[in-house]
Amino acid sequence: MYSPKYPPTTDKAQFNHLLSTCKDWCLSHGLTVRPPPSFSENPHEALTTHAPVSLYPSLFPRSSFDEARAVQTAYNELYARVSDDTEFLDALTADIAQVDDFIANLHSIQTKIASTEGFAHEFSLGLFRSDYMLHDSGDGTRPIVQQVEFNTIASSFGGLASQVAELHRFLLKSGAYPEDPYLTYSHIPDNPAASGLASGLASAHHAYGPTAIDGIKTAVLFIVQPNERNAFDQHWISYSLLKLGIRSYRCTLTDVPTTCKIDETRNRRLLFHPPHLQAPIEISTIYFRSGYSPDDYPTPAEWSARHLLERSKAIKCPTIATQLAGAKKVQQVLAVDGMLERFLSHTPNKIAAIRGTFAGIHPLDTSPLGLQARKMAFENPERYVLKPQREGGGNNVYREKIPAFLREIGEEKWAGYILMELIKTPVAKGVILRNGEAVEGWVVSELGVYGTILWDREGNVVKNQEAGWLLRTKGRESDEGGVAAGFGCVDGVCLV
Ligand code: ADP
Ligand code: MG
Ligand code: MG
């Protein structure tokens, strides 16, 4: 949101003081990432740098913020129901699998287990994040939140988002900010994302219950990428878990075969026994912060690892079914008239709230809607973003590049993509800090709302909560907003 007087102006001396205060606070409070290889060598993994952050929290309309948070539990329920609707998910995934090997591999693990021994887990856990941008229709009405996407796996930055709210409140408290009517505590709320996500994991851990008979301890297992630069974001969640008395461990997909074993005699419980532990640990809950991208499976061994984990009795966050439910194709199909009713038939108010956040989103298959969208993609590409079934940022094709891209991949692959109308989000002034340098300019923001949901095999919801938020801000000239992908920064809200 734009205000001509925000952020406040400073002279050079004030600005430099604010900058160094901000950097030092980040470094001393784990608002950090490992440095990119281009920035510094990190031979012993002993170095960190501040995470990309915004110096001032961005102005955001309180009413839109409240709306986005209020709809989260309905979204949680929707995606839990989609995950459990095997017929729906199988049909959609089978279509995509024909043109997308990654989705095909995930789906084949899912169907193999379902059609043979069946699943061993009693509960499923979702730690979700629904992402929105404010959309300005240009007709003078107030901007509304429109959904960019819904993430069902590895929804990141909750840990750093909680820290950034503290950072901005600290800069206010310490007097580093200049006087400004917007910069007050009542405009800059505490963000409970880290503790909220940990509380979701804790509910799964408790639902799993104590270990069977032999007194082995239980814990949560984070599946992580090797050389994760964003590890501190994840550590904040594990520290919050530990405050609740629950231990967690970390393991890459590559290391699963040597550290994890299924105990076939005890309902396929998962035992984790890396060399540094004297005794094995029984894993109650597997939290995937890896496994969402083809790059996470460099060899068949990582695919077998995923299969092993999916077979186990441990509660998966997420199961493959829930991961597939987060495909952009599902988001597009849910936007088709009448589809939400399939999953939330008994609750028209939830359906209306969810539908109110939908942006225009179209298939690119050979259905009548798809054929129409293909025409639009070639005739008016400047209105659209083209998305494959991928996560993690940097995969989309924007505007005028769409026609050439579509021609290049060939018509038989088009059904694997969706075409989405560009959300026209208002620009504002901001100051972004990346790798020690502050850049001032025109920026746009994307709000993510976290949610946690635990449900059982019969579809009974045990716990369903909204769990804090994330604001990411990027230069307006950049199409993508991913922080990890190198485009934006972690920001906080200044509610107006
Ligand atoms: P990913 O799963 O890779 O994060 P997204 O759907 O979130 O994919 O797209 C990545 C980024 O592209 C978003 O963070 C946003 O900045 C931009 N983007 C995506 N969809 C739209 C849209 N409809 N309008 C404007 N920008 C968009
Ligand atoms: Mg995503
Ligand atoms: Mg995204």
DSSP 225-265: -TT-TTHHHHHHHHHHHHHTT--EEEEETTTHHHHEEEETT
Query: How many angstroms separate the alpha carbon of residue 422 from the centre of ligand 1?
Result: 9
- Least confident segment among 9-13, 51-55, 345-349, 404-408: 345-349
350 with 344: CB under 8 angstroms? yes
Known active-site residue 156: yes
6, part of any domain: no
pLDDT of residue 482: 65
Q: Predicted confidence band at 346 (pLDDT cuts at 50, 70, 90)?
A: confident
Q: Which of 169, 269, 313, 328 is catalytic?
A: 328
Biggest CA pair distance of the chain: 70
Residues measured by CB to lie within 5 Å of ligand 2, the ion? 149, 151, 391
Q: Which of 69, 129, 269, 316 is catalytic?
A: 129
Known active-site residue 380: no
Domain that holds residue 490: 12-359+423-495
275, part of any domain: yes
Q: Is the pLDDT of residue 294 over 70?
A: yes
Q: What is the pLDDT of residues 238-254, one digit of tens each?
A: 999 999 999 999 999 99
Known active-site residue 387: yes
The average pLDDT across 259-284 equals 96
**Rounded alpha-carbon distances, angstroms, from residue 442 to 2, 90, 236, 394:** 10, 44, 31, 21
410, part of any domain: no
pLDDT of residue 282: 97
Ligand 1, atom 4, residue with closest C-alpha: 393
Q: Is the pLDDT of residue 328 over 90?
A: yes
Query: How many angstroms separate the alpha carbon of residue 393 from the centre of ligand 2?
Result: 7
Number of structural domains (the chain) is: 1
Query: How many angstroms separate the alpha carbon of residue 449 from the centre of ligand 1?
Result: 15
As beta bridge partners, residue 434 has 437
Q: Which of 306, 311, 329, 472 is catalytic?
A: 472
Q: What is the pLDDT of residues 205-219, one digit of tens each?
A: 999 998 766 778 999
Q: Is the pLDDT of residue 38 over 70?
A: yes
Residue 85 exposure: Cα atoms within 13 Å on the Cβ side: 19
Q: Is the pLDDT of residue 481 over 70?
A: no
Ligand 1, atom 17, residue with closest C-alpha: 480
**Rounded alpha-carbon distances, angstroms, from residue 77 to 80, 163, 197, 243:** 5, 28, 16, 28
Question: Ligand 1: which atom is nearest the Cα of residue 425?
Answer: 25
Q: Is the pLDDT of residue 163 over 70?
A: yes
pLDDT of residue 345: 82
Query: How many angstroms separate the alpha carbon of residue 150 from the centre of ligand 2?
Result: 7
Known active-site residue 312: no
Ligand 1, atom 22, residue with closest C-alpha: 422
Q: Classify 85 as helix, strand or coil.
A: coil
Helix, strand, coil shares, percent, the chain, to 5: 40, 25, 35
Which pTM value belongs to this model? Answer: 0.97
- Report the pocket of ligand 1 as residue ranges, CB < 6 Å: 131, 148-149, 359, 385, 387, 391-393, 395-396, 420, 422-423, 446, 480-482
pLDDT of residue 23: 98
| 155 annotated among ligand-binding-site residues | yes
pLDDT of residue 259: 98
Q: Is the pLDDT of residue 408 over 80?
A: yes
Q: Is the pLDDT of residue 487 over 90?
A: no
Q: How many CB atoms lie within 10 A of CB 86?
A: 12
370, part of any domain: no
The average pLDDT across 49-53 equals 97
pLDDT of residue 330: 98
Q: Classify 130 as helix, strand or coil.
A: strand
Question: Ligand 1: which atom is nearest the Cα of residue 392?
Answer: 3
96, part of any domain: yes
286, part of any domain: yes
- How far is 435 from 6, CA to CA, in rounded Å? 24
Testing ligand 1's pocket by substitution, the residue of 129, 135, 149 carrying the most ligand atoms inside 8 A of its CB is 149
151, part of any domain: yes
- How far is 168 from 190, CA to CA, in rounded Å? 10
88 with 30: CB under 8 angstroms? no
Known active-site residue 424: no
pLDDT of residue 142: 85
- Please compute Rg for the chain using Cα positions: 23
The average pLDDT across 358-387 equals 97
Q: Predicted confidence band at 43 (pLDDT cuts at 50, 70, 90)?
A: confident
Ligand 1, atom 12, residue with closest C-alpha: 480
pLDDT of residue 486: 61
pLDDT of residue 421: 97
24, part of any domain: yes
Known active-site residue 149: yes
- Least confident segment among 32-41, 87-96, 407-416, 481-490: 481-490
Our measurement of the distance from residue 484's CA atom to the centroid of its chain's CA atoms, rounded to an integer in Å, reads: 11
| Helix spans in 138-192 (H) | 158-173
| 484 annotated among ligand-binding-site residues | yes
Known active-site residue 269: no
**For residue 456, what are the contacts with CB-CB under 8 A and spacing of at least 6?**
122, 123, 124, 462
